[in-house]
Amino acid sequence: MTIENKDKKYLWHPFTQMKDWMDNDIIVIERAGGNYLYDTRGRRYLDGISSLWCNIHGHQVRDIDLAITSQLSKVAHSTMLGLSNIPAVELAEELINIAPKGLSRVFYSDSGSTAVEIALKMAFQYWQQVSQGDTQIARRKTRFLTFVNAYHGDTIGAVSLGGIDLFHKTYGQLLFRTVKAPAPYCYRCPMGRKRKQCNLECLAEVERLLRRHHKELAGAVIEPLVQGAAGMITQPKGFIRRLRQLCNEYDILMIADEVATGFGRTGRMFACERENVKPDIMTVAKGITGGYLPLAATLTTEKIFKGFLGEFKDNKTFFHGHTYTGNPLACSAGLANLRIFRKGKTLPKIQPKIKILEKELQGLHKLENVGDIRQCGLMAGIELVSDRKTKTPFDYRKRIGHKVIIEARKRGVMLRPLGDVIVLMPPLSITFKELKLLLQVTYQSIEAVMNHLNS
């Protein structure tokens, strides 16, 4: 049996209608190098979405490969429950050094979703414990403010925070309820405001909700600057900065989910830096190991950490941990990733790439069905619509986004859309030439699908 057929016989793929999968040709990746993936038939694809938003410096990066093999010759895994290991300690120190000021403690886990679960439990338990004398507060600060269209992962706590109906509605009865605030989606602003004239009306609603609910709120959870999975929906300037102020005013914890935006993606190491925001809790995952191994971290302040200190008998322990928490191989990859950022001057080097991406994206406006183009650093979303004037979406059953990425594959570029939003999220290591190729193929692929649709 071919590897393709074995896949179809044994596997169940994530976020995939398996009937569709089994009825179609599939691609099996055999190896990768630089910014390219190679399939079992020897075909080459530019990795246009950083292997689902996590690859940073490309594939088979010598320094990361070496870091992992060198760690492998010492120990692959040992537990963090009751023991420590060298790469986990060293990476924690590095993370604190680069994180927004005030974050001083690192709690590891294995995925963005688990990092978010940990943030939730941490915030919840914190309020229980700091207000122990005051059962009123402890009883009341138990809920979270979240945003429409948010995505924080697929475990039940993270799904509860989420606001993407397509993914989350099915599980409604399993979820806890949150206070849901409107998030800016300027292209489809219900108030019909132009982004330029908007003075962040969504925030007025957020403030209204906080005024009403702050006593029962433990924290507010946000994807800073960009709601990724919602379709690369970018926030107007000042949004998270004002949210930070509001969280201070109403005494609730600000939880920044930097799983997608962290590690240079927005042009700075973390998105929060762009607005000088210091969250109380920050989650990171995708890019932390350069896209090599599963690792995540939840960072928090000394103030919250101290809320968990006490005598053993007080039961203030944070009761959470996963088997592979702080895995030495993953942490050594994380260390190598950050070393490359430093020595390879990754952040200065991507600034001109961000400019080129911005410039090249403008060319896509020539295409009739491009409704909106959103960009933040090296993340971009191109929203395709059936009628640009009325901003009417395509019938989702037409699977326009999917058709576009199939065209892109034929042209040697690997993408994955979010509905009818074409996502471009190349590795930070992408070259100028590859960036141009990426945009050229995107243009041609959209054009090809539209021509076919109209013929």
- The only residue of 259, 333, 350, 357 in contact with ligand PLP, by rule CB under 6 A: 259
Distance, CA of 108 to CA of 295 (rounded, Å)? 7
Distance of alpha carbon 388 from alpha carbon 212, whole angstroms: 39
| Interface with ligand PLP (CB under 6 A), residue from 285, 293, 370, 435 | 285
Beginning with the edge strand found earlier in the chain, give each strand of the sheet holding 29-33 in spatial order. Answer: 29-33, 36-39, 44-47, 413-414
Rounded least distance, CB 112 to ligand PLP, Å: 2
- Give me the phi and psi of 168, to 5 degrees please: -105, -20
For residue 294, the minimal CB distance to ligand PLP (Å) is 7
Nearer to ligand PLP, 56 or 441 (CB): 56
304 binds ligand PLP, rule: CB under 6 A: no
Cβ–Cβ < 8 Å for 235, 226: yes
Enumerate residues 6+ apart whose C-beta is below 8 A from 273. Answer: 100
The whole-angstrom separation of Cα 376 and Cα 224 is 11
CA distance 144 to 72: 41
Q: How far is the CB of 285 from ligand PLP (least distance, A)?
A: 5
Q: What's the rounded Cα separation, in Å, for the pair 230 and 162? A: 10
Smallest separation (angstroms) from ligand PLP to the CB of 151: 6
Q: Which residue is nearest to ligand PLP (CB)?
A: 112
Helix (H, G, I), strand (E, B) or coil at 422: strand
Question: x/- site string to ligand PLP, residues 123 to 152, per CB under 6 A?
Answer: ----------------------------xx
Residue with smaller CB distance to ligand PLP, 184 or 307: 184
Binding-site size for ligand PLP (CB under 6 A) equals 15
**Looking only at residues 60 through 119 of this chain, which bind ligand PLP when binding is defined by CB under 6 A?**
111-113, 116
Q: Give Cβ neighbours of residue 438 (< 8 Å, ≥ 6 apart).
A: 46, 48, 413, 424, 426, 430
Give, in degrees to the nearest 5, the angle at Cα 232 between 278 and 99.
25
Q: Which two tokens stand for residue 217?
A: 């709120």
Q: Per rule CB under 6 A, is residue 377 in the interface with ligand PLP? A: no
Shortest distance in whole angstroms from residue 174 CB to ligand PLP: 17
* Interface with ligand PLP (CB under 6 A), residue from 58, 153, 307, 328: 153
- Of 195-224, which residues contact ligand PLP (CB under 6 A)? 223
Q: CB–CB of 109/325 below 8 Å?
A: yes
Burial class (CB in 10 A: 0-12, 13-18, 19+), 398: middle
Q: Is residue 322 close enough to count as binding ligand PLP by CB under 6 A?
A: no
- Of 287 and 371, nearer to ligand PLP (C-beta) is 287
CB 44 to ligand PLP: min, Å: 26
Nearer to ligand PLP, 55 or 113 (CB): 113
Contact between 423 and 440 (Cβ < 8 Å): no
Supply the minimum distance, in Å, between the C-beta of residue 416 and ligand PLP.
12
Q: Using CB under 6 A, which of the segments 86-94, 252-260, 265-273, 371-379 binds ligand PLP?
A: 252-260
The pairing of strands 370-376 and 143-147 is: unpaired
CB nearer ligand PLP, residue 116 or residue 414: 116
Contact between 228 and ligand PLP by CB under 6 A: the answer reads yes
Mask of contacts with ligand PLP, 159-188, x by CB under 6 A? ------------------------------
**Closest distance to ligand PLP from the beta carbon of 296 (Å):** 6
Buried (b) or exposed (e) across 49-65, using 16+ Cβ within 10 A? bbbebbbbbbbebebbe
Question: Does residue 229 touch ligand PLP according to CB under 6 A?
Answer: yes
Q: How far apart are the first and last CA of the chain?
A: 39
Q: Which is nearer to ligand PLP, 228 or 267 (CB)?
A: 228
Q: Is 235 in the site for ligand PLP (CB under 6 A)?
A: no
CA distances from 362 to 184, 269, 381, 439 (A): 22, 25, 12, 10
Binding site for ligand PLP (CB under 6 A): 111-113, 116, 151-153, 223, 228-229, 257, 259-260, 285-286
